[in-house]
Amino acid sequence: MKAFIIDKYKKDGGYIGQMPVPELQADEVLVEVHAAGINLLDSKIRNGEFKIILPYKTPFVLGHDVAGVVTKIGARVKQFKVGDEVYARPADHRIGTFADLIAVKETDAALKPKQLSMEAAASIPLVGLTAWQALIEKGRLKKGQKVFIQAGSGGVGTFAIQLAKHLGATVATTTSAVNIELVKSLGADVVIDYKKDDFEKVLHGYDLVLHSQDGKTLEKSLRVLKPGGKLISVSGPPDPDFAEEIEAPWFVKLIMRLLSFGVRKKAKGLKVYFSFLFMRANGDQLKEITALINSGTIRPVIDKVFPFEAIKEAMAYVESGHAKGKVVIKIK
């Protein structure tokens, strides 16, 4: 099958070539890939930035978002049948959506939202699950609370704003002037032009921050929280709880403890909480997201759709940080 293959960890690495069709396990479905979302995570894995967390053995196929059609089911699969249109964020170590076919665990997939195209559906899983796990699972965001979602016009931001508004929260976000109307249309209540204003001088007494930026922004974000507030970071640094969660070896646990020591100390001094989130595959949560999309509560935001042959160009565009919402590649 055709696939985008990583044969060595390096920036701008990878090539389109041939790989064997995935072997189907009893609890998996074989999906013919129609479209795949591109995420910054793909670039970070290709570049070797996450080798300590996700040590993939080369050669491997990249890609974390898929929408397509079930062509074969494993012996124990109960939820799906051949011909079903599905979408998924495959589990870590089972990725590979930049290809003609991928085997996905039954528990990681869900039926595709009916009214969405394959391209629109492929834009959802990773960012949708990230927002769900940050705001609902870890953040326990409630009606009437205030949440600061950084980079509101990005992939995670565009989804998280809509989810937070659905939960009844007041939403603040940062973006550039050109995207102010976009984030307002998604439900943002307070919009800060990060090129002109300092969010730390505008925001006070927040219950939750969804952090996706650099270390300097993280430190400032801790200070906009009220005592007892939480900052959930999807961009690091990884913390000891995460090391326990992935059952990391002792030396990796030590590294993560050291990497996050400074921010955990600052959070403690401010009487707030810091937590790192590395989102995981979850088909049940995807079903909940599907219901929100089918009801019109959440809509996908797509910047560009690239052909499979332009996958490197698409990844470079995502890395530039200028995408409004998601970037998708069309495979079939």
Is the Cα dihedral 152, 36, 235, 140 positive or negative?
positive
3-state secondary structure of 282: coil
User: What one-character DSSP code corresponds to residue 133?
Assistant: I
The pLDDT of residue 53 is 85
pLDDT tens per residue, range 74-114? 999 999 999 999 999 999 999 999 999 999 999 999 999 99
Cβ within 8 Å of residue 50, ≥6 positions away: 41, 44
Give, in degrees to the nearest 5, the angle at Cα 188 between 183 and 190: 115
The pLDDT of residue 284 is 98
Distance between CA 190 and CA 248 in Å, rounded?
Answer: 39
Distance between CA 180 and CA 33 in Å, rounded?
Answer: 34
pLDDT tens per residue, range 113-147? 999 999 999 999 999 999 999 999 999 999 999 99
Average pLDDT of the residues of the chain: 97
Q: Is the pLDDT of residue 203 over 90?
A: yes
Q: What is the dihedral of CA 30, 31, 36, 37, to 10 degrees?
A: -70
For the segment 10-33, the average pLDDT, to the nearest whole number, is: 97
Cβ within 8 Å of residue 76, ≥6 positions away: 26, 27, 106
The pLDDT of residue 317 is 97
The pLDDT of residue 218 is 97
Q: Is the pLDDT of residue 243 over 90?
A: yes
Tell me the pTM.
0.97
211, 151 in Cβ contact below 8 A?
A: no
In the Cβ-directed half-sphere of 256, how many Cα atoms lie within 13 Å?
22
Number of Cβ atoms within 10 Å of the Cβ of 173:
31
The pLDDT of residue 229 is 98
Give the start-to-end residue ranges of the domains of the chain. 2-124+300-330, 127-276
Distance between CA 166 and CA 71 in Å, rounded?
Answer: 35
- For residue 71, name the pLDDT band (cuts at 50, 70, 90): very high
Q: Is the pLDDT of residue 303 over 90?
A: yes
The CATH fold of domain 127-276: Rossmann fold (3.40.50)
Is the Cα dihedral 282, 288, 294, 296 positive or negative?
negative
The pLDDT of residue 6 is 97
Q: Is the pLDDT of residue 152 over 90?
A: yes
Distance between CA 172 and CA 145 in Å, rounded?
Answer: 11
For the segment 245-257, the average pLDDT, to the nearest whole number, is: 92
Helices 215-222 & 250-269, crossing angle to 10 degrees?
A: 40
The CATH fold of domain 2-124+300-330: Quinone Oxidoreductase; Chain A, domain 1 (3.90.180)
The pLDDT of residue 150 is 98
Tokens of 121: 């559906």
User: What one-character DSSP code corresponds to residue 139?
Assistant: S
Helices 155-166 & 125-132, crossing angle to 10 degrees?
A: 50
The pLDDT of residue 52 is 85
97, 33 in Cβ contact below 8 A?
A: yes
High-pLDDT (> 90) share of the chain, %: 96
Q: What is the 3-state secondary structure (H, E, C) of 41-103?
A: HHHHHHCCCCCCCCCCCCCEECCCCEEEEEEEECCCCCCCCCCCEEEECCCCCCCCCCECEEE
